């Protein structure tokens, strides 16, 4: 009786397997870049830690700079997926905007996000494309908040001001300032209760602005 010959798979792996390999490489590279920096991390080290051959990595990423930029996109996608879990309140887009901003504040102060930004900022001089990659208006999280601002304006829950300006100012107080403070070592956002108190004040400031109460105009009696 003839023995069955085992067929050996050749060619590229199926897409789902290939995507899984790429995600494993990016997750490993993210951890290494974040913990020891760009210069101290080699493609060989990434291959060794993630259990993939060096040729497997180079087939997907031509250089360490390309891998670094892919890691940035990978982390941004993960971040956006977490932010995007907020369900849309069709009756009140403003409420959806508020909860999305609350979630955003919680996300930007996570250790892995802070480490990620610290890493990208430190390497921006070596890899010029990093600065363009971090541009706000191309960021999916920015677009998410921007679209919610427009929806809230359409429902008459927000003033009809330039939506880009509103989005930028909202993100400044909700995300950029807290992230910058944590990067500088501040403990202002070190607990959930502290973040909640800050958010409530920041949200009121966004809705009401910093102007004083309107003075009533007294009409003279003739």
Task: Report the distance separating Cα 34 and Cα 71, nearest Å.
Answer: 10
- Evaluate whether residue 221 is within a structural domain: no
pTM of the model: 0.74
- Evaluate whether residue 217 is within a structural domain: no
DSSP, residue by residue, 88-100: P-TT-HHHHHHHH
Average pLDDT for 93-113: 91
Average pLDDT for 181-206: 94
| Domain extent for 160 | 15-208
- Evaluate whether residue 214 is within a structural domain: no
Task: Report the distance separating Cα 72 and Cα 106, nearest Å.
Answer: 20
Percent of the chain having pLDDT more than 70? 80
- Evaluate whether residue 7 is within a structural domain: no
- Evaluate whether residue 79 is within a structural domain: yes
Using CA atoms of 192, 198, 201, 204 in order, give the dihedral in degrees to the nearest 10.
-70
Could you tell me if residue 220 is left (phi over 0), alpha (psi between -120 and 50 degrees) or otherwise beta? beta
Quote the tokens at residue 33. Answer: 């870049």
- Evaluate whether residue 144 is within a structural domain: yes
CATH of the domain at 38: 1.10.357.10
Maximum Cα interatomic distance, the chain, rounded to a whole number of Å: 119
Quote the tokens at residue 51. Answer: 């259990």
Percent of the chain having pLDDT more than 90? 38
Give pairs for 109-115: CB < 8 Å, separation 24+. 109/178, 109/179, 109/182, 109/189, 109/195, 112/34, 113/75, 113/79, 113/179, 114/179, 114/182, 114/183, 115/34, 115/35
Coil/strand/helix, residue 187 = coil
- Looking at residue 215, the DSSP 8-state letter turns out to be P
More confident residue, 7 or 149: 149
Work out how many domains the chain is built from and give that number: 1
- Evaluate whether residue 110 is within a structural domain: yes
- Evaluate whether residue 5 is within a structural domain: no
């Amino acid at each position: 009786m003839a023995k069955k010959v085992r067929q050996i798979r050749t060619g590229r792996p199926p897409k789902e397997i290939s995507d899984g390999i790429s995600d494993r490489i990016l997750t490993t590279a993210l951890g290494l870049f974040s913990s020891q920096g760009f210069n101290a991390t080699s493609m060989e080290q990434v291959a060794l830690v993630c259990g993939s051959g060096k040729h497997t990595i180079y087939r997907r990423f031509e250089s360490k700079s390309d891998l670094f930029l892919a890691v940035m996109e990978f982390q941004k996608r993960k971040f956006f997926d977490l932010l995007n879990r907020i369900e849309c309140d069709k009756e009140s887009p403003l409420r959806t905007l508020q909860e999305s901003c609350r979630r955003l504040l919680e996300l930007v102060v996570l250790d892995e996000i802070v480490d990620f930004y610290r890493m990208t900022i430190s390497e921006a001089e070596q890899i010029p494309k990093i600065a363009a990659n971090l541009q706000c208006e191309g960021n999916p999280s920015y677009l998410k908040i921007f679209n919610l601002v427009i929806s809230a304006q359409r429902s008459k829950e927000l003033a009809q001001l330039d939506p880009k300006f509103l989005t930028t100012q909202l993100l400044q107080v909700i995300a950029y300032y807290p992230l910058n403070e944590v990067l500088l070592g501040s403990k202002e956002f070190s607990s959930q209760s502290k973040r909640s108190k800050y958010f409530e004040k920041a949200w009121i400031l966004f809705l009401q602005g910093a102007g004083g109460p309107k003075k009533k105009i007294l009409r003279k009696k003739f």
